[in-house]
């Protein structure tokens, strides 16, 4: 299930254990105001949205939704203003999650994940998803034991491509993808995604072949201290063409955890030098190409900036 008992600093299994610059930081800061000003999702609005934009509006009511083997699940708009929650779990292989938006804050206070994902030996896809309204105050603890956006099951043994996903304001990791590193061994490729102001970490990976490309991370609000990219063992993890703007918060690139080291290869990436790079337990972070310390995070082209835009596939 997507609701999992997890620890923010340790995994559930032992660990041998720019694109266009279309939306820059000034836009990110005003994003919440734009969403708040959007038309509320009443019954009449639901019907109109479905007719005009060809997506389904679903009121959050603590549903547990399962995406089956080979299924394509798309064009969904979740209304989180009900104060209830939604969890989505995948099973099997070769599934697709596409054009999904969450309007309003996620409200679970149980330390759950909105998405619990894995692929059993094949290749699956997540694209054009908006989780930019974050989790509510009940999940705001600096301990990070709150809502995660995407949690990758330790049994994940295939490959998952995540593209054009927008995650902001979550109390735990934005993408908690390190658990398969010493279990299922599956890989995750995060491409053209945006994560901002989350606790613990924004993108967290562990399996060789996993990577973050063409993506951006921003920390620009008080009280949020999640790492930029956290690379767990065994690695190697690749980072390419990314902007990691931490404004001095926590660590831009953190390598190694639980006494185990890893290798991180960084290509053509700008990171916040004040937040810096940390290498634990014999880890190595290698900077290659045109990498520097003058990051400017922005939402990559094609990544949705509202729940409605995601659900309609208009990014």
User: What pLDDT does 140 receive?
Assistant: 52
Containing 44, the helix (H) or strand (E) segment is helix 43-53
Q: How far apart are CA 286 and CA 260, in angstroms?
A: 17
Both tokens assigned to 43? 């019954």
Can you tell me whether residue 87 is helix, strand or coil? strand
Cα separation values, 43 from 47, 58, 59, 283, 307, Å: 7, 11, 10, 54, 17
pLDDT digits (tens, 9 = 90+) for 205-253: 999 999 999 999 999 988 777 999 999 999 999 999 999 999 999 999 9
| 165 touches 129 (CB < 8 A) | yes
Q: How far apart are CA 152 and CA 89, in angstroms?
A: 10
- Domains of the chain, with CATH numbers? 56-312 (2.160.20)
pLDDT digits (tens, 9 = 90+) for 176-191: 999 999 999 999 999 9
**Stretches in the chain below the pLDDT threshold 70:** 1-53, 108-111, 137-145
Containing 25, the helix (H) or strand (E) segment is helix 25-37
User: What pLDDT does 5 receive?
Assistant: 36
User: What pLDDT does 51 receive?
Assistant: 40
User: What pLDDT does 109 receive?
Assistant: 56
Q: How far apart are CA 233 and CA 256, in angstroms?
A: 6
Containing 32, the helix (H) or strand (E) segment is helix 25-37
User: What pLDDT does 254 receive?
Assistant: 98
Can you tell me whether residue 5 is helix, strand or coil? coil
User: What pLDDT does 243 receive?
Assistant: 98
The strand pairing partners of 189, in sequence order, are 161, 211
Can you tell me whether residue 147 is helix, strand or coil? coil
Q: How far apart are CA 314 and CA 305, in angstroms?
A: 10
User: What pLDDT does 32 receive?
Assistant: 33
Q: How far apart are CA 110 and CA 85, in angstroms?
A: 11
Task: Give this prediction's pTM.
Answer: 0.85
Q: How far apart are CA 304 and CA 36, in angstroms?
A: 16
Q: How far apart are CA 173 and CA 168, in angstroms?
A: 10
User: What pLDDT does 107 receive?
Assistant: 77
């Amino acid at each position: 299930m997507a609701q999992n008992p997890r620890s923010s600093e340790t995994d559930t299994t032992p660990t041998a254990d720019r694109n266009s610059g279309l939306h820059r930081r000034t836009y990110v800061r005003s994003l919440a105001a734009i969403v708040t000003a959007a038309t509320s999702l009443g019954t009449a609005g639901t019907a109109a949205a479905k007719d005009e934009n060809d997506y389904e509006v679903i009121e959050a009511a603590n549903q547990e939704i399962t995406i089956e083997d080979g299924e394509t699940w798309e064009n969904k708009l979740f209304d989180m203003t009900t104060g209830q929650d939604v969890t989505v779990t995948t099973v099997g292989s070769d599934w697709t999650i596409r054009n999904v938006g969450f309007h309003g804050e996620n409200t679970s206070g149980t330390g759950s994940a909105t998405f619990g994902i894995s692929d059993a030996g094949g290749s699956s896809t997540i694209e054009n998803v908006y989780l930019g309204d974050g989790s509510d105050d009940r999940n705001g603890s600096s301990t990070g034991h709150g809502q995660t956006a995407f949690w990758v099951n330790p049994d994940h043994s295939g490959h998952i491509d995540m593209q054009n996903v927008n995650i902001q304001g979550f109390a735990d990791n934005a993408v908690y993808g390190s658990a398969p590193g010493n279990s299922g061994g599956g890989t995750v490729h995060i491409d053209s995604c945006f994560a901002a102001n989350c606790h613990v970490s924004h993108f967290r990976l562990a399996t060789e072949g996993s990577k973050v490309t063409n993506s951006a991370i921003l920390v620009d609000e008080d009280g949020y201290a999640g790492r930029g990219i956290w690379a767990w063992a065994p690695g190697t993890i690749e980072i390419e063409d990314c902007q990691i703007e931490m404004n001095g918060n926590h660590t831009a690139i953190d390598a190694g955890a639980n006494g185990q080291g890893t290798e991180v290869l960084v290509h053509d990436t700008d990171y916040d030098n004040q937040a810096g790079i940390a290498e634990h337990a014999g880890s190595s972070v290698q900077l290659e190409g045109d990498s520097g310390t003058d990051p400017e995070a922005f939402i990559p082209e094609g990544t949705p900036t509202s729940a409605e835009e995601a659900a309609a596939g208009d990014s």
